[in-house]
A and B are shown apart, each in its own frame.
Chain A
Amino acid sequence: MSTPINDASKARITSLDPARAKKLVGAATALLVASVALSIVAALVDRQRFAFSYLTGFVWLATIGLGALFFVLIQHLTRAGWSVIPRRQLEWLTGLLPASAALFLPVAFFAHDLYHHWMGPEAHGDPLIQKKAAYLNPTFFFVRAAVFLAVWSGLSLWFWRTSRKQDESGDKELTLRMAARSAPAIILLGLTLTFAAFDWLMSLDPHWYSTIYGVQVFSGSAVSSLAALALLTLALERKGILEGITTVEHRHDIGKLLFGFTVFWAYIGFSQYLIIWYGNIPEETVYFRERWEGPWKVVSLVLVFGHFVVPFIALISRTAKRSRFVLGAAAALILAMHYVDIYWLVMPTLGERGAVPSWVDVCGLIGPLSAGLLVIARRAAGGPLYPVRDPRLAESLQFQNT
């Protein structure tokens, strides 16, 4: 089937209509202002709950950005052709990382509420925490966080700016330079993501440890960023903006990756579960016990079905991956389930109370969410909607799944 993409007479839309762009940015800014006010109210009413709710929202957003950065890097590393067009939407999503550097400040502010087990005086009476004090201490924690956020922001901004520079100049050399830097960048990303996961999430229970933890958080990041990518692409198509630029073929490939990483997430989660369940050592099983007692059982089951079983079945067929409706619904579900996934990692620290959703959780999410929307809207408004002068653009326009 031929698509009208090669029709030179048809002018391609390369950027958002300025009025629409302004409206988008305006709406996101308004939402952000409102969310700051709401957050302050929530923090005053229930400081402890808000601290954990905010951490959940923050990590939800940052991991989407990290997954997007991973995919941008891997496209450069593998010199991929098909993904040149959707790469731009992934680049928008990497904008969440510099935003995360700012959004981390409340986490730092609430650090003593979140990590009171090892940050506060409690730690002195705990011989096990004393043993790891060389790693788990406030100073080193903040230094590491600064390093992680600096590395992520640096990588995200460099790849974004270089890609935008190519929009102007069409310089092929930039493609080579991005490919060359993507390899060491992926190593940096892997290490920082792992230790950030250890620091910000695993240390909520400072006694508990699991070597796969970094991979688990990575798998959630990867799948959620693909879901966000699918939604962005579909939204642009729906408005008729990328009509004929992104085709059903791109959708199909995004769907395949989404399907694959959904399975990967389940694989990693199940591996961790099986090894700990089978070994049955109380120091380790406590983690799953906390998440399987009382109301937490419901959350765990929602995660198993919502994050794996349902999207797995929904996306298995070729028709589903190519359908706007099914792909969109699965992506929206996965993005929501990614929030539940992070919630499941963070909130059990509060005990059974944590399993019951509260209005404070909404306040914890809405701040990072609106900041993220603002960043994406600004990036979308600020330049071409796809890498207009990428040397492999033609390949991406013409590509077909055979």
Chain B
Amino acid sequence: MSTLSYPHDDPAVRPELLPGKRDFRGITRQVSGIVEAKTPTGWKLAIAFTLSVLMILFGSLFRLVTKGTGVWGLNTTVGWAWDITGFVFWVGIGHAGTLISAILFLFRQKWRTSINRAAEAMTIFAVMSAAIYPVFHVGRVWFAYWLFPVPNQMQVWPNFKSPLFWDVCAVSTYATVSLLFWFVGLVPDLATLRDRADTKTKQIVYGILALGWRGSHRHWLNYEKAYQIFAGLSTPLVLSVHTIVSFDFAVSVVPGWHTTIFPPYFVAGAVFSGFAMVVTLMVMARRFLGLGNLITIHHLENMNKIILATGSIVGYAYGIEFFTAWYSGNPYEKFVFLNRAFGPYSWAYWTMVSCNVIFPQLFWFKKVRTSVPLMFVISILVNIGMWFERFVIVVTSLHRDYLPSSWTYFKPSLFDISTFIGTFGLFFTMLLLFVRYLPMVAIGEVKSILPAADPHAAHDHTEARHES
């Protein structure tokens, strides 16, 4: 037998997911400790900042509601721009959480246990940020409930044949299932916080949320079954939500929108941007919360590989679209794509291509995949690229339509920009509240992958002891 070129890569040995000596109590203490510690000044400063940004959102929306959607830079040719771009951007980011909690679970990828809780939380906050757009784009926001098919004496219904209505159904289903999945996963950990509470208030609040969890075998049995069912139900949701978002465009007859590859291509793009956001956030969690021992470089590397894979699928879709635009022989198709690459928005197009197709390819190198500063930069570039992707699809397809006299160049107004920036305020405020008050790593699930949880593995029995 020849010697291995990478001795640490011996294929017969599965590397431990969390190397080093770990016991149950250590993990409980570390994760609960983040919640139980005295509020750090850094957190106070951070939330002061994100709350200020959130105020920008409130201000922008106030202006929008009092003046009308005219405060955005939309015009008769480009009737959709930053609003739908922001919506698709945020919904897409949400996909990583569901993929990690559902699909990676079904594929028995146990490394997901360190990151799934935070990723699922991120999903919910991303969907909240996304929901801002359709709700406020209706203009008369007090009629936003008309988005739903509410029975009424005027017999006014949403158009069931409209993909925008399918969107309402898909996104609200997605938000509901994600929220329930996340909460079910939280229950055992909330009970841990309840049992460790040092004040009456905490005990009552966490106690109510823990739904009477006692950690009995019967509880765990039900929990495992529920988890499996949620994973099964959420898996098609990962595909369906962004598929329907892609239908918003693809079922139209607008060149640049009407193309059959949109559904799988949007799903891949969503997972791509979602994982990039998870990497961005996990790098920060390691830095500021000292979670480097639970979220190891191995976890980050795995996520970077998924970014590389999905980024390549997105690149494939760009290529096939371009090829088919030529192959179709259809002058309108051809024009739209040439206009994207060389027209007035070429700067946006090439930003998109470099951020989504070129930079992630650096992850072919193990050095880049395992370098925290580089992956941090690339993960942010990916999300910039994915924002531009939606912008390019939406605006370049619209701004030069069939009638050259109506051609225009879309420029965002101050309120387009401030609304979008404001959604980051919402997203990060929610995230900061989450890390402060809820266990951001799934304590029970991480324990399950330790050697101490495996009755056949060699371990010291004191490692498996819980807090008394």
Name A residues whose Cβ lies closer than 8 Å to a Cβ of B. Answer: 79, 81, 128-129, 131-132, 135, 169-173, 175-176, 179, 183, 187, 190-191, 194, 198, 207, 209-215, 256, 263, 267-268, 271-272, 274-276, 278-281, 283, 391-392, 394-395
Q: Kindly list chain A residues whose C-beta atoms are within 8 Å of the C-beta of B324.
A: 209-211
* Given A210-B260, A215-B261, A215-B264; A79-B329 close (CB under 8 Å): no
- Find the residue from A183, A215, A281, A283 having the highest chain B CB count within 10 A: A215
Whole-angstrom distance between the alpha carbons of A198 and B3 in the complex?
A: 45
Q: Is the CB of A190 within 8 A of B316?
A: yes
Please report the C-alpha to C-alpha distance between residue A338 and residue B328 in the assembled complex, in whole angstroms: 27
- Report whether A271 and B253 are in contact in the complex, using a CB–CB cutoff of 8 Å: no
Could you say which residues of chain B place their CB within 8 Å of the CB of A272? 260
Contacts of B251 in A (CB 8 A): 274-275, 278-279
A212 cross-chain contacts in B, Cβ below 8 A: 260-261, 263-264
Which residues of chain A are near B259, meaning CB under 8 Å? Answer: 211, 275
In the assembled complex, the Cα of A169 lies from the Cα of B2 at a distance in Å of 9
**How does the 8 Å CB contact mask read for B237-261 relative to A, with 1 for contact and 0 for none?**
0010001000100111100001111
Nearest-neighbor residue (CB-CB) of B163 within chain A: A278
Contacts of A211 in B (CB 8 A): 259-261, 317, 320-321, 324
* B403 interface contact, C-beta 8 A: no
Q: Which residue in B5, B250, B329 is a CB contact (below 8 Å) of A173?
A: B5
User: In the complex, what residue of chain B is closest to A195 when comparing beta carbons?
Assistant: B323
Cα A128 to Cα B330 in complex, Å, equals 8
Report how far A169 CA is from B317 CA in the complex, Å: 41
Shortest Cβ distance from residue B265 to the other chain A in the assembled complex, whole angstroms? 8
User: Known: A275-B251, A279-B253. Contact between A263 and B236, CB under 8 A?
Assistant: yes
Q: Count B-side interface residues using an 8 Å CB cutoff.
A: 39
Are A128 and B329 in contact, CB atoms less than 8 angstroms apart? yes
Q: Distance (Å) between the CB of A275 and the closest chain B CB?
A: 5
Cross-interface CB contact of B11 among A172, A209, A213, A271, cutoff 8 Å: A172
Identify the B interface with A (CB < 8 A).
1-6, 9-12, 14, 106, 236, 239, 243, 247, 250-253, 258-264, 312, 316-317, 320-321, 324, 326-330, 364
Contact B329 A132 (CB under 8 A): yes
Q: Chain B contacts of A194 at CB under 8 A?
A: 316, 320
| Inter-chain contact A171/B320, CB cutoff 8 Å | no
**With A172-B1, A176-B6 known to touch, is A131 a contact of B253 (CB < 8 Å)?**
no
| A394 cross-chain contacts in B, Cβ below 8 A | 12
Q: Please, how many angstroms separate the alpha-carbon atoms of A392 and B11 in the complex?
A: 7
Partner of A271, one of B1, B243, B252: B243
Q: List 20 A-B contacts (CB under 8 A).
A: A132-B327, A135-B327, A171-B1, A172-B11, A176-B5, A176-B6, A187-B312, A190-B316, A211-B317, A211-B321, A211-B324, A212-B261, A267-B243, A268-B263, A271-B260, A275-B250, A275-B258, A392-B12, A394-B12, A395-B14
Answer whether A271 and B264 are a contact pair too, CB < 8 Å, given A169-B1, A209-B328, A278-B251.
yes
Give, as a whole number of angstroms, the nearest-CB distance from A62 to chain B: 20
Cβ of B264 and Cβ of A391 under 8 Å apart?
no
Which B residues lie within 8 Å of A271 (CB)? 243, 260, 262-264
**Neighbouring A residues of B364 by C-beta, 8 Å:** 183
A214 to B265, CA, bound (A): 12
Q: Beyond A79-B11, A212-B260: 7 further Cβ-contacts under 8 Å?
A: A131-B329, A211-B324, A215-B264, A256-B106, A267-B239, A268-B263, A275-B258
A-side contacts of B262, CB under 8 Å: 271, 275
- Across the interface, which residues of B come within 8 angstroms of A263, CB to CB? 236
Q: Which residues of B contact A268 (CB under 8 A)?
A: 263-264
Query: Nearest chain B CB to A361's CB is how many angstroms away?
Result: 28
For B263, what are the chain A residues with a Cβ–Cβ distance below 8 Å?
Answer: 212, 267-268, 271, 275
Q: Check B4 against A176 for contact (C-beta < 8 Å).
A: yes
Partner of A281, one of B12, B236, B253, B312: B253
Give CA–CA (A81, B243) in the complex, Å. 32
Contact of B12 among A172, A198, A207, A274 (CB under 8 A): A172
Closest beta carbon of chain A to B46's beta carbon, Å: 37
- Residues of A near B11 (CB, < 8 A) are 79, 172, 175-176, 179, 391-392
- Which residue of chain A has its CB nearest to the CB of B312? A187
Q: Separation in Å of the B380 CB from the closest CB of chain A?
A: 24
> How many angstroms from the CA of A268 to the CA of B236 in the assembled complex?
13
Q: What 8 pairs between A and B have smallest CB-CB spacing?
A: A211-B261, A391-B12, A278-B251, A212-B260, A131-B329, A271-B263, A175-B11, A391-B11
Q: Report A-chain residues with C-beta under 8 Å of the C-beta of B258.
A: 275, 279, 281
In angstroms, Cα B316 to Cα A128, docked, is: 25
**Given the complex of chains A and B, what is the CA–CA distance between A97 and B106 in angstroms?**
31
Q: With the chains together, A272 CA to B364 CA distance in Å? A: 32
Residue of B whose beta carbon sits closest to that of A81:
B14
A190 to B328, CA, bound (A): 21
Q: Are A172 and B4 in contact (CB under 8 A)?
A: yes
Are B1 and A170 interface neighbours, CB within 8 A?
yes
Considering residues A268, A279, A395, which has the most beta carbons from chain B within 10 angstroms of its beta carbon? A279
Give complex CA distance A187, B319 in Å: 13
- The reply to whether B9 and A176 contact each other, CB–CB distance below 8 Å, is yes
Q: Which of B6, B312, B328 has the most CB of A within 10 A?
A: B328
Give Cα A276–Cα B251 distance, bound, in whole angstroms: 7
Q: A171-B2, A172-B10, A276-B260 are in contact. Are A209 and B253 (CB under 8 A)?
A: no
